[in-house]
């Protein structure tokens, strides 16, 4: 009887939590198809479903340009950051050298400080380098910010790959880099996928840094462009904002559906072997 009561309360609790989490998402999705121009005037279930907001988003705003800017930054960040993270973690995991322990502790220390604490210094630095408004500045920030924590995570994963595999490759005549590309990387698919998806999401969802570093409508990212639709007191643009928010969520949802198996393996493996 006690087990049945526990199961009933557990299901009720989970149902309530799901309702709390999903309600805002469902509201945004339904509002994006509403004929009203304001969320205040729209009902939870629209009286009339329409694609007018999506049509207006593509014809009356620079949404496609914002999408292109964000996608370019996100993909470049994934390629550069994942490569640097994998190489750094591989060096820390496979080689012994003077200052290794100090380097690891320094990396760990840097990972404890969030990026926004140094925003003033970042802005001053890029202003001095004349990179304000240049997407390259965003890539540099995201890549540098990804290295500390992810290096520790990936190192923990690589420590679980037997070094005997590397040694066997060396005996067969492979160089260290050939061993890295042909032995270590193929065995690191879960953790690579985890890092890649995270590094794609960061610029895709970020608002604070792009709003500070990038200037001009042609350099805006999705988060900045959409926020400005409602930040200038134009309350009638809220359903338009909702349609843009729905489109932002689609790529992230697709990534999680495709790579969810690897993401789960990457998280558990990195945690268990760290």
**According to the model, what pLDDT value does residue 40 have?**
59
Residue 245: phi and psi, rounded to 5, are: -65, -40
pLDDT in tens, 90-146: 988 888 888 888 887 887 777 777 666 777 888 888 888 888 888 888 899 899 888
d(CA 139, CA 219): 13
- Band the pLDDT of 78: cuts 50, 70, 90: very high
d(CA 27, CA 201): 23
**According to the model, what pLDDT value does residue 273 have?**
45
- 38 lies in some domain: no
- 138 lies in some domain: yes
d(CA 125, CA 265): 38
- Three-state SS string over the chain comes to CHHHHHHHHHHHHHHHHHHHHHHHHHHHHHHHCECCCCCCCCCCCCCCECCHHHHHHHHHCCHHHHHHHHHHHHHHHHHHHHHHHHHHHHHHHHCCCCCHHHHHHHHHHHHCCCHHHHHHHHHHHHHHCCCCCCHHHHHHHHHHHHHHHHHHHHHHHHHCCCHHHHHHHHHCCCCHHHHHHHHHHHHCHHHHHHHHHHHHHHHHHCCHHHHHHCCCHHHCCHHHHHHHHHHCCCHHHHHHHHHHHHHHHHHHHHHHHHHHHHHHHHHHHHHHHC
d(CA 195, CA 215): 29
Q: Select the more confidently predicted residue: 92 or 259.
A: 92
Q: What is the CATH number of the domain that holds 251?
A: 1.10.3720.10
- 39 lies in some domain: no
**According to the model, what pLDDT value does residue 45 have?**
73
Rounded to two decimals, the pTM is 0.81
**According to the model, what pLDDT value does residue 267 have?**
60
Number of domains in the chain: 1
**According to the model, what pLDDT value does residue 73 have?**
92
- 29 lies in some domain: no
pLDDT in tens, 141-168: 899 888 888 888 888 888 888 888 888 8
Q: Rg of the chain's alpha carbons, rounded to an integer?
A: 23
- 133 lies in some domain: yes
Helix axes 135-159, 189-205, angle to 10 degrees: 150
- 190 lies in some domain: yes
Give me the percent of the chain exceeding a pLDDT of 70.
89
- 26 lies in some domain: no
CB atoms within 10 A of CB 66: 23
Residue 232, pLDDT above cutoff 70: no
77-81, 131-135, 144-148, 200-204 — which one is most confidently predicted on average?
A: 77-81
Structural domain including 211 reads: 52-273
Reading the block at residue 191, the tokens are: 């953790």
**According to the model, what pLDDT value does residue 254 have?**
87
**According to the model, what pLDDT value does residue 188 have?**
87
**According to the model, what pLDDT value does residue 84 have?**
93
User: What average pLDDT does range 72-96 have in this prediction?
Assistant: 91
Residue 46, pLDDT above cutoff 50: yes
d(CA 46, CA 24): 15
Residue 274, pLDDT above cutoff 50: no
- 32 lies in some domain: no
**According to the model, what pLDDT value does residue 34 have?**
79
**Shortest CA distance to 52 belongs to which of 36, 70, 40, 67?**
36
Dihedral sign of CA atoms 175, 176, 177, 180 in order: positive
């Amino acid at each position: 009887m006690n087990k049945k009561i526990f199961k009933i309360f557990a299901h009720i609790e989970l149902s309530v939590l799901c309702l709390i989490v999903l309600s805002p998402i469902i509201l945004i999705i339904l509002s994006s198809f509403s004929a009203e121009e304001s969320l205040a005037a729209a009902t939870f279930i629209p009286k009339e479903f329409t694609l007018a907001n999506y049509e207006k988003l593509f014809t009356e705003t620079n949404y496609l340009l914002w999408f292109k800017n964000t996608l370019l930054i996100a993909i470049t960040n994934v390629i550069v950051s994942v490569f640097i993270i994998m190489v750094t973690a591989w060096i820390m995991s496979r080689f012994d050298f003077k200052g290794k322990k100090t380097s690891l502790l320094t990396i760990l220390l840097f990972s404890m400080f969030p990026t926004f604490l140094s925003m003033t210094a970042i802005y001053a630095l890029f202003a001095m380098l004349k990179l304000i408004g240049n997407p390259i500045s965003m890539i540099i920030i995201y890549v540098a910010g990804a290295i500390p924590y992810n290096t520790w995570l990936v190192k923990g994963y690589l420590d679980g790959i037997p070094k005997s595999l590397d040694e066997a490759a060396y005996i067969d005549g492979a160089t260290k880099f050939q061993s890295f590309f042909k032995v270590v990387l193929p065995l690191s698919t879960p953790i690579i996928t985890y890092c890649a998806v995270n590094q794609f999401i960061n610029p895709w969802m970020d608002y604070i840094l792009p709003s500070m570093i990038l200037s001009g409508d042609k350099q805006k990212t999705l988060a900045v462009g959409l926020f400005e639709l409602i930040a200038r007191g134009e309350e009638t643009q809220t359903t338009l904002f909702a349609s843009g928010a729905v489109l932002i969520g689609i790529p992230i949802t697709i990534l999680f559906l495709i790579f969810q198996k690897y993401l789960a393996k990457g998280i558990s493996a990195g945690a268990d072997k760290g």
